[in-house]
Amino acid sequence: MKKTKQLFAGLILMAFGLGTAQAEYTLNLMKGVTKVSNDIYDLHMLILWVCIFIGIGVFGTMFYSIYHHRKSRGHKAAQFHENTTVEIIWTIIPTLILIGMAIPATKAMMELDDVQESEMSIKVTGHQWKWEYEYLDNGIHFFSSLDEASNKVRQVGSGLDPRSVPNYLLNVDKPLVIPTKKKIRFVFTSADVIHSWWVPDLGWKKDTNPGFINESWTSVDEPGTYRGQCTELCGKDHGFMPIVVIAMNEPDYNAWVEKQKAAVAAEAGSASKQWATEELVAKGKSVYETNCSSCHMADGAGLAGTFPAIKASKVVTGDINAQVKLMLDGKGMMPAFGKMLSPVDFAAVVTYTRNGLGNSVGDSIQPSAIQTLQSATPAAGKNE
């Protein structure tokens, strides 16, 4: 049995202590890929060893006593119950140890906090349940959601094997791309509830608070792909909004930026063309699955009491303009999709909900019409 062997191996490694096992099991904090994350790792190891050292002392004494000072071995109880000297010693020694820990901790904290002299800024906005990235220097802007393969497998009772999906629950449709060897400032906020943006390899997490801005920074030396997750409970799909950061060296990064700009131009072109209903429905299905299905469910049945059904919904089967308006502006827990979806995706998903998921209203709306509405709504404005 491979499983049993692994289990056994794991238990043995556990017995050896935290620091030794790297190969198959991650038992310890990762060192990460930034100076800050390495400093944090060193600090973690320092405190861990301090704790282990004290633990051996205290537990050693206790177990010596438990073994030797027992009635069954005929040990007679001493009757001392006070010793001021000892009490003072074991108050002062821990105090000194704490001071010794506080000094490097203060240094690391100051370093972590220092966002000065950054070379570029990325705004991260948390949404239920995806991330929005905006490059404040060059205007690149996109959303990043759980990848489709993980999303299929993670449905309740899907019966699919998570092990068949590479990077299950740690993969996204569009990763965040950053250049290496540059000090990047991140600013964080949220569109709805509090989330927290964490990539362990960068060494920190930061909460995204609605209505407020938080800051943090990183500088990655080596190109690579670094994965993380939301770490503040943010509702139903809290476990399903991963983060993927790809660090590229300067030329690759610049090429990526050019590609993004070209894609935005192409998108703008396709918004002005005339789309057939079937085309919109076909495209709308995948837009629905990425953006809508986590609340309204993949089959459009919704969740009684919390999320309304799409199927036979009064809004979806009623006036198309009313539906578009509701989706543009949002309502209650329903986010304002006016600024989240491109005109094409928006039109596609509207058309899909009216002609799929058990509905057959028959009408459709053109991306160009959405574009006009989006630029007319104050909530809109950041079209890709």
Partner 1 sequence: MSAVVAEHDDHHDHGPAKGLLRWVITTNHKDIGTLYLLFALAMFFVGGAMAMVIRAELFEPGMQFVNPQFFNSMTTMHALVMVFGAVMPAFVGLANWMIPMMIGAPDMALPRMNNMSFWMLVAGVLLLASTLFMEGGAPASGWTLYPPLVLQTGKALPFAIFSVHLLGISSIMGAINIIATIFNMRAPGMTLMKMPMFVWTWLITAFLLIAIMPVFAGAVTMLLTDKFFHTSFFDAAGGGDPVLYQHIFWFFGHPEVYVMILPTFGVASTIIPVFARKPLFGYSSMVYATASIAFLSFIVWAHHMFTVGMPIAGELYFMYATMLIAIPTGVKVFNWTATMWKGSMTFETPMLFSIAFVVLFTMGGFTGLMMSVAPVDFQYHDTYFIVAHFHYTLVPASVFILMAAGYFWLPKWTGHMYDERIGRLHFWLSVVSVNILFFPQHFLGLAGMPRRIPDYAVQFADWNMISSIGGFIFGASQLLFLYIVIDTIKGGTGEKVTDEVWEDAAKHSLEWTLPSPPPYHSFTTPPTVIPTEHI
292-311 residues near partner 1, rule: CB under 8 A: 303-306
How many residues bind to partner 1 according to rule CB under 8 A?
A: 108
In the complex, the smallest distance separating the C-beta of residue 3 from partner 1, rounded to whole angstroms, is: 8
Residues 343, 382: contact at Cβ < 8 Å?
no
Measured between alpha carbons, how far is 94 from 66 in angstroms, rounded to an integer? 24
Does 2 engage in binding with partner 1 (CB under 8 A)?
A: no
Does 77 engage in binding with partner 1 (CB under 8 A)?
A: yes
In the complex, the smallest distance separating the C-beta of residue 328 from partner 1, rounded to whole angstroms, is: 18
Among 126, 175, 203, 367, binds partner 1 (CB under 8 A): 203
User: Of the listed pieces 31-39, 132-140, 320-328, 348-356, which binds partner 1 according to CB under 8 A?
Assistant: 31-39
In the complex, the smallest distance separating the C-beta of residue 35 from partner 1, rounded to whole angstroms, is: 12
Cα dist. 38→204, 224, 225 in Å? 11, 16, 17
Among 75, 259, 314, 331, binds partner 1 (CB under 8 A): 75
Closest of 333, 143, 144, 169 to residue 240, by C-alpha: 169
Residues 283, 212: contact at Cβ < 8 Å?
no
Does 210 engage in binding with partner 1 (CB under 8 A)?
A: yes
User: Of the listed pieces 72-80, 255-263, 346-354, 359-367, which binds partner 1 according to CB under 8 A?
Assistant: 72-80
Measured between alpha carbons, how far is 243 from 186 in angstroms, rounded to an integer? 14
CB count in 10 Å sphere of residue 143: 18
Measured between alpha carbons, how far is 213 from 383 in angstroms, rounded to an integer? 22
Does 170 engage in binding with partner 1 (CB under 8 A)?
A: yes
Instruction: List b or e across 335-372, with b for residues whose CB sees 16 or more CB atoms inside 10 angstroms.
Output: bbbbbbbbbbbbbbbbbbbbbbbebeeeebbbbbbbbe
Q: Is 242 or 284 the residue whose CB approaches partner 1 more closely?
A: 242
Among 8, 17, 20, 26, binds partner 1 (CB under 8 A): 26
∠ CA 364-366-367 to the nearest 5 degrees?
Answer: 135
Closest of 143, 172, 182, 127 to residue 330, by C-alpha: 127
Three-state DSSP class for 100?
helix
Does 239 engage in binding with partner 1 (CB under 8 A)?
A: yes
Among 120, 149, 194, 301, binds partner 1 (CB under 8 A): 194
CB count in 10 Å sphere of residue 149: 15
In the complex, the smallest distance separating the C-beta of residue 151 from partner 1, rounded to whole angstroms, is: 11
Q: Is 52 or 255 the residue whose CB approaches partner 1 more closely?
A: 52
Closest of 58, 49, 57, 47 to residue 102, by C-alpha: 47
Report residue 353 as tokens.
């909900």
Residues 253, 179: contact at Cβ < 8 Å?
yes
Among 33, 124, 177, 230, binds partner 1 (CB under 8 A): 230
Per CB under 8 A, which of residues 79..118 are in contact with partner 1?
A: 79-83, 86-87, 90-91, 94-95, 98, 101-102, 105-106, 108-113
Per CB under 8 A, which of residues 242..301 are in contact with partner 1?
A: none
What is the x/- site pattern for partner 1, positions 120-149, by CB under 8 A? ------------------------------
